[in-house]
Structure 1
Amino acid sequence: MTIKAPVTLPPKTADTISVFLAGSIEMGSAIHWQQEIEQVFDGRTQVHLYNPRRDDWDSSWKQEITHPAFNEQVNWELDAMEAADLIIMYFAPGTYSPVTLLELGLHARSGKLVVCCPEGFWRKGNVDIVCEKFGVKQVPNITALIDTIHSYSLNRTIV
């Protein structure tokens, strides 16, 4: 099941896991990598995917705390990452993804982060060093992120 911003997050239950899909969006110009993951888990009600890629996003919104829709979006993302059992993070080559870099810093010590940062991401070295320093698991591609979600849904641990 996919829950997109700004929909209220469902209550946690013992038989579900929640996964936040953090990563490159670039105001809609990055590849829609989240869709690939959504398709794999479509119909699996025990996996809740929290997708920040908002269907009604409006790039004219002022990115200021006083703009209600923007404020709602950022708070939804922060709340969803805190609530998630697992945060997967994808840094798309050819993007800058400053918000994702911020999220990496916020959650590097959480123990629930898995990162995919392929060659071609402009700050791959920084991402690699942060992941190494804080013991964040890295995987080589989106398929490996999907495998991580499958494994986590079975074992409830990052392997």
Structure 2
Amino acid sequence: MRAILPPAIIAPSNVSVFLAGTIDMGHSIDWQQKFIDRANKEETLNDVVVFNPRRKSWDHTWAQRIENKQFSEQVNWELDAMENADVILLFLEANSKSPISMMELGLFADSGKLMVCCEEGFWRKGNIDIVCKRKGIDHYNTFDELSAAVIDKLKKLANIK
């Protein structure tokens, strides 16, 4: 499994997954690395690309405005990666707000790519559950269940392509 972080160029790949969800300006647990570590144990996923938006060089003082080059680069990188990914893993941590993740759910709800876990205690869990049910989005109760399901889907896709 090869991880690509912003602002690295998004290269074409056989199979890819985007890790959407709670980051909370870098204050949430690094569940992205937890997923990557788990997936790296699977030999059949060696050629899979993981788009991880958790930018190591993120500066919280950057103005979140379209005119800010670094901010615009980050947002466009994420949108490009989600559009190019085969699977979008979306994890919403219980005690987070994650407004951008909810926007991403709306943007990609009809894509057929989303696989979602919204933990119990998330402030808008009811909304997330309803959107997932209405749009037929695979929905899981725990991060571990979501991770296992995404890994299974990536294995299937890797065998097809």
Q: TM-score, normalised by structure 2?
A: 0.91
Deviates more, 1:27-36 or 1:37-46: 37-46
Structure 1 segments of 4 or more deviating over 4 A? none
Q: Secondary structure at the match of 1:49?
A: strand
Q: Which amino acid is 1:136 matched to?
A: I
User: Is the counterpart of residue 3 in structure 1 residue 4 in structure 2?
Assistant: yes
* TM-superposed deviation, 1:10: 2.0
How is 1:45-56 mapped onto 2 (pairs within 5 angstroms)?
A: 45-56=46-57
Q: Secondary structure at the match of 2:129?
A: helix
Count of residues in Structure 1 that have an aligned counterpart in Structure 2: 154
Q: CA RMSD in A?
A: 1.4
Measured against aligned partners, the alpha-carbon deviations of 1:45-64 in whole angstroms (never above 9, x if no partner) come to: 32211000000000000000
How is 1:81-120 mapped onto 2 (pairs within 5 angstroms)?
A: 81-120=82-121
Structure 2 stretches of 5 or more lacking a match? none
Structure 1 stretches of 5 or more lacking a match? none
Identify the structure with bigger relative contact order (alpha carbons < 8 Å, sequence gap 6+): 2
Query: Is the 1:41–1:47 contact (alpha carbons within 8 Å) kept by the matching residues of 2?
Result: no
How is 1:30-69 mapped onto 2 (pairs within 5 angstroms)?
A: 30-42=28-40, 44-69=45-70
Q: 1:19 aligns with which of 5, 14, 17?
A: 17
Partners of 1:19 and 1:145 lie apart in 2 by 13
Partners of 1:34 and 1:117 lie apart in 2 by 15
Q: TM-score, normalised by structure 1?
A: 0.92
* TM-superposed deviation, 1:5: 1.0
Partners of 1:69 and 1:81 lie apart in 2 by 18
